Amino acid sequence: MAGRVVVVTSGKGGVGKTTTVANIGTGLALRHKKVVMIDADIGLRNLDVVMGLENRIVYDLVDVAEKTCRSINKALIKDKRLSNLFLLPAAQTRNKDAITPDQMIEIVEGLKEEFDYILIDCPAGIERGFNNAVAAATEAIVVTTPEVSAVRDADRIIGLLQEKEIYEPLLVLNRLRPEMVRKGDMMDVDDINDILAIKLLGIVPDDEEIIISTNKGEPAVLNSHSKAGEAFRNIVKRLEGEEVPFMPINGETGLFGKFLKLMHGK
């Protein structure tokens, strides 16, 4: 059976696409799926660093598109930890025009038979880079943070995905801060669900473990103590069709928080 081709996109930059790809990719590989992650952010490659694979790159996506390297397998970098996880890195010294949607489709076609999942890390924006990243995908994950501008851009992206005939994108709400939600200073998942009206794949808390894990080049999903890691493990399960309840997002900790709740009669 041909693998699933999923693009991770957002519109707005810096909301967590690359982090999401690295963690979902690693999480799926932990479940023994054969996974390849394609960094389609040509000119600003990041996924290699987040995965800790930056020193192993020989060929990149553009080399594959231009057939500079003899076979696509030569460009695939095997993960340090998991032998069934691979990265196809972006070119760093080229720009988004260096490949075309047709080339992207051809490359993905060549990978579909061998892999269970092909995850595509989309660049920010809605131009060439977006069109390239989305061209070969049949499913999409839209990442947003609970901020007005990010949700607005997510809405635009959902519209553009529709034009590309991807009608049921899944939502990842990233960097939620429960304490701020509790105080009424941050939109919560219900507000955003109400506005975007697409299926929720998961909620990832704002977590300093993400920064620590990026420093080390080890996705948080590998860390059993990380809250964000747990969120990504749940996301992976849902992507695989398991029913997993959403983590309770409440900011209060311990007794005092419960007391506060009682006082407010909620």
Partner 1 sequence: MKFFREESPSKKQAVERLRLILVHDRAKVSTGLLELLRGEIINAISKYVEIDENEIEIELNANDSKAELVANIPVVRVRRAIE
Binding site for partner 1 (CB under 8 A): 147-148, 151-152, 155-156, 159, 181, 183-188, 191, 195, 260, 263-264
Mask for 42-81, x = binds ligand ATP (CB under 6 A): ----x-----------------------------------
Q: Which residues make beta-bridge pairs with 7?
A: 120, 140
Q: What is the residue whose two structure tokens read 């005092």?
A: 256
- Nearer to partner 1 (CB atom), residue 89 or residue 146: 146
Pairing relationship of beta strands 117-121 and 77-78 according to DSSP bridges:
unpaired
CB closer to Mg ion out of 4 and 17: 17
Stretch that binds ligand ATP, among 89-97, 152-160, 190-198, 200-208 (CB under 6 A): 200-208
> Does 41 participate in binding ligand ATP (rule CB under 6 A)?
yes
Q: Contact, 61 vs 107, CB < 8 A? A: yes
According to the binding rule CB under 6 A, does residue 9 interact with ligand ATP?
no
Going through 50-198 in order, the beta strands assigned E by DSSP cover 77-78, 85-88, 117-121, 139-144, 170-176
What is the C-alpha separation between 144 and 16, in angstroms, rounded?
8
Q: Given phi > 0 = left and psi -120 to 50 = alpha, else beta, which region is 84?
A: alpha
Binding track over 108-137 against ligand ATP, x by CB under 6 A: ----------------x-------------
- The minimum distance between CB 89 and Mg ion, in angstroms, equals 12
